[in-house]
A and B are shown apart, each in its own frame.
Chain A
């Protein structure tokens, strides 16, 4: 089964500074249809998850443009260009390419303010 590994587990950041989260998959996430089904989610404290990015680099509606996704094949990155206080929470990557086993989440990265 495909395994999604995120790093770091915890990311203390200074307000206004950039932050990057890495996500690596144990197998290529390129689907036979040519798409790469790698998504990023944000879960603020006490809230439900919210999708930020789909298919590697496409921002969802209403997501600030300081969030961006990049990468290919097995290595992916979520970047916050300038961290704001409202960005505190846990971020998860998720693959939807391989069926079975189905949707697979990374373990999460906790972003906090220094």
Chain B
């Protein structure tokens, strides 16, 4: 069974930092391009960033609103994706989903809620 399990969400003050993790199982994680996608309360889906496989050896790509503040990384030995979020703003409040894409499949986690509020 494929699983993507996000963790690390919570309440943080503006300007603070938070690191999300996404533990993957049931599919070849090291072969998957991994993404973070977020959804603000009552709003649509917004892509945050992507990291390709080690084989593709390309630096991660980020959406304009988070570039320079967020960092995506992966540890294939632990089948885990990370999202380090710095300088958080109230507009970063959202459910953050990790998404894995292989040649034939597309997988999503259940999401982690991040609330940025004073």
Which residues of chain A have a CB within 8 Å of any CB of chain B? 39, 41, 43, 48-51, 54, 60-61, 90, 92, 94, 99-108
Contacts and interface: CB of A to CB of B under 8 A. Distances in A.
A49 B97 contact: yes
Given A49-B97, A99-B61, A104 B47 contact: yes
Those 9 A-B pairs whose CB atoms lie nearest each other, nearest first: A103-B47, A51-B106, A48-B108, A105-B45, A108-B44, A107-B44, A102-B47, A102-B61, A92-B45
Q: Is the interface of B mostly helix, strand, loop or mixed?
A: strand
A60 B105 contact: yes
Interface residues on B, range: 20 to 34
B49 to A, nearest CB: 8
Contacts, number: 47
Interface of B: 35, 37, 44-47, 49-50, 61-64, 97, 104-106, 108-111
A20 B18 CA distance: 40
Nearest to B46: A105
A35 to B, nearest CB: 13
Contacts of A60: 105-106
A101 B44 contact: no
A101 B64 contact: yes
Contact of A48 (B50, B63, B64, B111): B111
Contacts of A101: 63-64
